[in-house]
Every structure is written in structure tokens, then in C-alpha cells.
A and B are shown apart, each in its own frame.
Chain A
Amino acid sequence: MSDGPLSGRTVLEIDDRVASSYAGRVLAACGARVIRIEHPHRGAPTRRLGPFLDAGDEYEGGAVFHFLNGNKESITLDWTDAYGSELLGALARHAAAAVDARPPEERAPALPDSCATVAIDNFARGDPFRSWLADDMMVQLVAIDSGQTGYVGREPIRGAPDDAEYIAGAAAAYAVIAAILMTARGDPGARAEVALRDASMLMPTRHLTQARFTQRFQPRPEGPRPMSILPCLDGFANIQTGLPWGRIVDMIGDESLRGDPRFQTLPDRLAHAEELNALLIGWAATVTREELGDRAERARVTGGALLEAGELVTNRHYAERGAFVPVDDERYPGLRLPFAPFRISTLAWRSPGLGPRAGEHTTQVLSELCGLEAATVARLHQAGVA
């Protein structure tokens, strides 16, 4: 393990939302010094996300806040104040990049060219919805995929809460690293924008281009596809039934089905969906989810358990891989949160501590990077600027 390309680089996270905090989480874990800049009066939305671990946490942040903001520093600074804005510019002169989640109208004056910036908005410039009020659910429902998800007569249904925020956060981390590489090549001052809606639509598992390509636009389905989610002895599981029939027979272990003309091809199976459904449900009811997964693996069938959130941490696969790590605080024994989205053999993912208290590092950072004395910072605090 050695220092990575983010080591020694400072990244500012200006204002707060899940997307910018997630970008900062990735950058901080990979070696950057990430300084959160929080507005002293408005507070930080990610601090208000439940669940809260202790009484009083609603002021300093719950589990999601700590997940997003370990390994970071926090200062408070009112960038809408003239002197606060000047201090922000001074901080940016020490930074390689900034992730800017402020409302667009508060982004002037521009940060110095030496500091690459990646702005995050719900809707991009040029999007007809640019100035519209929205939250993550609304963004998901205009990002093409979720608008098509669900069944006729029932409401279109979003994916996981905050999917669009996390997608944009990863896109912003990617953009920051690209911008830092551009600076290293002698092209500083990259300016990039990430929009939640566009980043979501640009995930290729979404449906923006597929119907355009075939020119076959379809209504939403009437109800669940047959053969989707099967009840097992201890919960639910899923298998893909579009595979060669012989593999599915191998998984079930019933030789009498091998030559069954109702199921030989996918069209055959769709034509006899109810019979197949009954057969699979009957079989699944005799096995546990893990047995189903193991038998599917041996038969080269795609399938596995539908895991509940509470089962993830103890699942044998994730436990062996260390996919969930303990929160580094004795107040929360046993609490584990997701570890890293990737492992790089030469670059350690820094294990997270708890996120910083609001303004915990204001004096230290303004002193170190802007040359202010502690007494000056105290006066700024009294004046509501810091």
C-alpha cells in the first residue's frame, strides 16, 4: 500500500446534500483531505437524516451522516456574507477541487481557477425542469426508469430512497478525480456539473435509449412477471428462468421434467407460465434460500436470496469479505455500516470514523489555511459568519 493520487490534495465540500457528501466519502476514503463547509444558520441536511443512534443526535447527525462523513473536517462559514465569501475564495486557493452543492444563485463569485469545481444540482442547466422544486423521489420519477416501474393502475414506484443522490455522488467523485488529473497534466480549473436527473438517466440499466432504439414503446405491465420472486422455507429468492431448461432441471433435481415439452424453450415457458410458476413455487418451498443459491450455482443458474437489510451484516459471504465494518465508537457496539464500493490492492480504503461535529474544525482550518487568529474566528462566530 502506498499513497494514492489524492494524498496531499484538499477537496472542499461546499454546502450539503447526500450526493456531495457521498462524493466526499469516496474521495476522503481514498486519501484526500476533505473539508465540509456548512452554512452556520441553515444547518446541513445530511445531519437530519435518520435513523438517529442517540437522543440529541438530530443536532449532530445519525447513522447516515456518519457513514457519509467519516474522515472529514467540518467548518461553518456563511458564503453569502461578503467576508465569508472572501474566506471561501482563500480556502479554495489551497484546494485541488471543490464539490459545490450550493444553490446555483449562491455560486458567485467563481472559485479561483486553480480549484477545479464540480457542481451538483437536481436538474442540469438546459433541463426544462432546471428551476423546479424537487426531492430525490421526484427526480427518480422523471429519470425515465422509475416512471416506468410498477404496474398499471398503481403509482409508479421509485427505487431505493436516495438512489439518485448516491448515483450523482459517485458521478461527482469520478468528475473530481478526472479534474484533478487534468490539473496534473497542466490544464487546471476544470468546471463540471453533475445533475441527479441526468446522472440517473445515464445509467445504462435505465431505459432512456432502449425504446428509442427499437421504436417500441410499451405500457407498464399489468402486474408482476411470473416466476419472479419465490417463497422459500426461510424467506424469498429469485432465479432467472431464461436459461437452458436442462440447467433448471439440474437445480431442481427432478429428472422427470427434463423432456417436458411445456418448458423446453423460453417461449414454451412463457406459454405455460402458470404451470411453471406453480412448479417452481412448490420446489422453492422445500429449500432454504441458501440451499437454493448453492444449487443454482452448481447448476449454472442465476439465482439467490432476497436478503433483508438486517441479514446483510451476518450473511456468510459479506461477513467473509468484510463488506460491513464496525463504527469506530464504543457507544454503538455491533453497529456495522457498508465498507468500500471497491478494493484497490495498492491503495487502502481508509476505515471511517464518526463524522465531525458542525464547525468542529473551523478555528483550526481558518487559522491554518487563511491565517486567521483564534480571536478573529471567535468574532466571526459571534457575527454569524463562521
Chain B
Amino acid sequence: MTGRAHLPLAGKRVIDFGEVMAGPFCCSLLADLGAEVIKIESTSRLPALSRGGLTGPSQKKRYGYRHGIPGDRPFERYTLFHNVERNKLGLTLDLGTSQGKDLFASLVGKSHAVVSNYSAGTLARLGFPNERLHELNPNITIAFMPAYGSTGPYRNRLAFGQVTDMLAGRAWVRGYPETAPYDTPLQSLADSVAGTHAAIAVLLAMAQADGSGAGAVIDVSHAEAMQQHLAEHVARAWLGQPSGTRGNRETWAAPHNAFPTRPEPDPNDPCADDHWIAIAVHTDAQWEALAEALGGGLRVDARFATLIGRKRNEEALESAIGALTREWDRWGLAARLQSVGVPAIPVITEYDSQFDRSLYERGVLAHLNHPWAGPTDYLGPIARFTNADIHTWRPANALGQDNADVLGRVLELDAAEIAALEEAGVIGSTYKVGRGT
């Protein structure tokens, strides 16, 4: 089946009223399935995390911009916006004005869902509490996704993925075992996990509303979505077992870690001296094959003959293996170990991934031309449908790129009315706030 008219959410309209990550990602997942997603942005407030800190032209090299150059419209060339926005229409609306509020209300009346990842109560403060939204459209699904949920003592806490990772408990179960938690590397997976689950919830609620005519209110706590990964650790704590990080190690496998390999002679590779191979030995047969392939006396070392022995002597085991893997190229060694039935794989970096053309062939990446950022790689859908045309087809929207289309086609305004809105600053395609170089 080809064409987006056949997609599961064809005919559904979703308002993306959010920024940075979790809400926009949820809406990208809905757009992938054929929903018409309208991203609302304001020209009165620059979302610096998403669109960078500059509004005025700059040709000076700066981190985070396309090829390091902010350019004439820097807010169209900032990393994070392109990383999470795809397949959407862009509408600017100043919700601080009564005209902006009226247009938003009209759009709510013609949509099936509104998704907001702002702090709890943001839409209400703008004059759109849930009751008002459902008065405007009884059928609309309203999804809120503040980091810790819409209720409870932390409901108003500001969040950032790396902090959520800690307050959700995930940071406790990862990182280097010998030095955690002081130096656990920061990570922020919770936004992504919350975005995926919010998309599931919106899919279910919109389908339910089709039958019942009653739109739901959805509450997605990033922390609670993230805690789905932690059942094991919560249960261990209840049993009084150690519940902290075990690094890359596993209870029933040894060796189970990453090991250093030979430097690689690529002058452009920033990790040329920092390459690794991951090895996971789950059975004695795999151990024997690994020991045979690596040599160095591993096979005859009685300490390592059984799993129990390898676990008891894990430091010595890893040290002995690391000394041997250093002599190997990670690709050659991984291929050799796989050929004798040992799970082993070269650890892949951002730099390596550039050379994998298959990422495009299987739709993980789409190479699309953005009007201001130029040819750019965008992330693809999280599931690959072989008989439906679900793919990344549109780059991140430019600011206000679809104002005329959305206001004309969806809200049925004529050209003069749209021009008047622009004149009044309710809509626009540049920021009213000046943040220059």
C-alpha cells in the first residue's frame, strides 16, 4: 500500500504544543503514522534549547549549528530542532494575544489531539484549562507530559533529561560499578521513552474517542515511563539484594564487557585511539571458542575454566582478555569470534556510523533538503512497515513555514486576513525578540 492517505492516522490532526524533546518526539511518531501534525511556535519567545540562542545573522563558528555556522537564520540551523522534528507543519501563533488565542481555539475545534510537554498547568494559564478545551471540542484527546506527571509534590519541578534520569532511579543502575554514582556519565533517555509511550497513549485515546465521542486527558510522567525499565532493580531492593549498577557485567555471563582494541589509522577519527569490542560469553562452549581464538594461555588457565571461576576472578579475566584484544583490529576480531559462535561486536561511534550506507536503505535515516540547513539527515520511524508507506518524508519545519496553508486550508482565513495577522505580529516567520551575535 503506498500513499499517506492509507496510513493509520490519515485524517487525524494533532496540535504539537511543546518544545525540546518529549512532546515533539511523541508528535513525530504520530506524524509518521499519517496524522497531520501542526507544530505551534511563538515568535515572541525563543526556545533556546531547541532553536539555539541566536535570532540574528551570524557567520561566526558556533557549536550546535549546521556545519558550525549559524548563518542568516540561525534558528533554522540548530541541532536539536532537526533531531526531533519531522513530518510536521509549522504554524506560528502568539498566544499572548487575543487573536492568537482565538485562532488556537479554532484549531482545537478542528483537531483530534493536543500534546503539550510544558510544565503542568501551562495551557490552563494561557486560558485553556481542560474544561475549556473539551468545551471547544468534546472529542479532543489532551496529552500532558510534564517530567514528573501532572499531580504529586514534584508536579511543578523543572526538568531536564539528565535530572529526570536520576530522580527516576535509572542513574542508580548504570555507570562504572567501582566509582558510581560520583562519576556516572550523564544520560537523558527519559524524554525519548516518555515520547514513545505518549504516542501509544494518544493512539489509544484517539481511537477510543472515535467510538465514544469523548476525548480523554492523558498524563505521561517521564519518570514513570522510564521506571518501566527498572522492575528488576526495585524487586532486588525489596529482597535486600544489591540494586546498584553492575556496569557492563552480568550475573550469569563472563566475560561480559567491552575490551580495548588496536588504534585505527584514520586521521579524522576522533576516537582512533579509543576503540573497543564488546564480548558476551554466556556458555562454556563460547568461552572455549573465545579462549581458543584469543590464545595467550586463556584455555589452560584453571581460574577461568568454569563460569563460577570466571565470575570469581572477573578482574583478572577482563585484564587478561583486554591485554589480548589490544593486539587486534576490532572489526577483524569481532568477525573472527562470530565465526566460531562467540557473541562479539565492534563498539560503534558517531564517527563510524557515517560510513554505514545501510542506515538510509532501511529508513533509519532520511536525507532531505531543508530550506535553510541544506541537505540534512533526519531520523526515521521506530518501526519499519513493509506494506505501508511510513517513512520520513519532510524535514523539520521552518519557523512559520506553513502559516498560509494552515490558516487558509484548515481555519479558512483569506489572504487579507492572514496578511493582517502578520501585520499585527500574531504570526510571523522571524523572531520578534532580538538575540544577536
Contacts and interface: CB of A to CB of B under 8 A. Distances in A.
A377 interface: no
A138 B83 contact: no
Contacts of B349: 144, 147-148, 217
A185 to B, nearest CB: 7
Interface string A268-293: 00000000000000000000000001
Contacts of A370: none
A192 B383 contact: yes
A217 B64 contact: no
A177 B204 contact: yes
B175 interface: yes
B196 A141 contact: no
B231 A346 contact: no
Contacts of A145: 187
A141 B345 contact: yes
A218 interface: yes
B152 A237 contact: no
Contact of B235 (A63, A141, A307, A321): A63
Interface in A304-361: 304-313, 316-318, 320-321, 323-324, 334-347
Interface in A220-259: 220, 223-225, 228-229, 231, 236-240
A208 B364 contact: yes
Interface stretch (B94-102, B270-278, B303-311, B419-427): B270-278
Nearest to B151: A321
Interface in B259-304: 259-260, 268-271, 274, 276, 278, 280, 282
B158 interface: yes
B228 A22 contact: yes
A238 B163 CA distance: 6
Contact of A53 (B66, B186, B235): B235
Interface stretch (A80-88, A101-109, A121-129): A121-129
Contact of A51 (B152, B172, B232, B282): B232
A302 B159 contact: yes
Given A137-B278, A321-B224, A304 B347 contact: no
Interface in B211-251: 211-212, 214, 216-221, 223-225, 227-239, 241, 243-244, 246-248, 250-251
A217 B270 contact: yes
A160 interface: yes
Contact of B238 (A167, A300, A317, A335): A335
* Contact residues on B (Cβ < 8 Å of other chain), bracket: 35 or more
Nearest to A319: B152
Given A308-B169, A323-B221, A236 B234 contact: no
B198 interface: yes
A304 B166 contact: yes
Interface in B100-119: none
A135 B347 contact: no
Interface string B378-398: 111111111110000000000
B342 interface: yes
B203 interface: yes
B153 A309 contact: no
Interface in B179-206: 181-201, 203-205
B46 interface: no
Nearest to A183: B8
B172 A141 contact: no
B79 interface: yes
Contacts of A218: 270
Given A163-B229, A167-B193, A312-B169, A347 B208 contact: yes
B384 A309 contact: no
B221 to A, nearest CB: 7
B161 interface: yes
A210 B239 CA distance: 41
A344 B216 contact: yes
3 A-B pairs closest in CB distance: A310-B237, A63-B235, A203-B192
Interface of A: 2, 4-6, 22, 26, 30, 49-51, 53, 62-64, 67-68, 118, 124-129, 132-135, 137-138, 141-145, 147-163, 166-167, 170-175, 177-179, 181-182, 184-185, 187, 189-195, 198-199, 201-220, 223-225, 228-229, 231, 236-240, 293, 296-297, 300-313, 316-318, 320-321, 323-324, 334-347
20 contacts: A127-B358, A133-B344, A153-B274, A156-B276, A159-B174, A160-B170, A178-B203, A178-B385, A181-B8, A181-B203, A204-B191, A213-B377, A215-B67, A236-B166, A306-B166, A317-B152, A335-B238, A341-B228, A344-B201, A346-B216
Given A2-B208, A158-B174, 13 more contacts: A134-B345, A138-B280, A158-B248, A205-B191, A211-B350, A214-B68, A224-B182, A238-B163, A238-B166, A307-B169, A338-B230, A341-B193, A343-B220
